[in-house]
Amino acid sequence: MNQDRPQHHMAFGTIILLLLFVGLTLFVASIMRANPVPDAAASGATFRTKCAMCHGQDGAGSTVGKSMNVPDLRSPAVQKLPDAQLAQIISEGKGGMPSFKGSLSEDQIHSLVSYVRSLHQKK
């Protein structure tokens, strides 16, 4: 009869341990999942602050951009360009497009190239 209680306590302890374990697993999983996100989110934010005023957040071109004849960044004409050329255009500028090598690091330019690629995949 008296043995009922310790067993009850043990079951309770096991449940607590299980909950802790599940919680820890979810926590670790959320950190691992969060890790690749900042890069994509960061380049999305860079694009929004540096490029979207001409190219629009989706790459199609803002009103200002369209008046300057910006190409649709999702179009095959832009997407067929090799990464190195996209990076060079962002860094050196082209036509009405300003040069960004003074305000963006090489890493930022590279993640913007990936961002431009991801615009294509979203369509």
Tell me the number of residues near ligand HEC by CB under 6 A: 22
Contact 55, 61 (CB under 8 A): yes
| Integer Cα distance of 123 and 119 in angstroms | 7
Q: Binders of ligand HEC among 30-69, rule CB under 6 A?
A: 50-51, 53-55, 65, 68
Residue 60's SS3 state is coil
- Name the residue nearer to ligand HEC (CB basis): 44 or 71: 71
Give the nearest residue (CB) to ligand HEC.
95
End-to-end CA distance of the chain: 68
Given the rule CB under 6 A, which residues bind ligand HEC?
A: 50-51, 53-55, 65, 68, 70-71, 73, 78, 86, 89-90, 94-98, 100, 112, 116
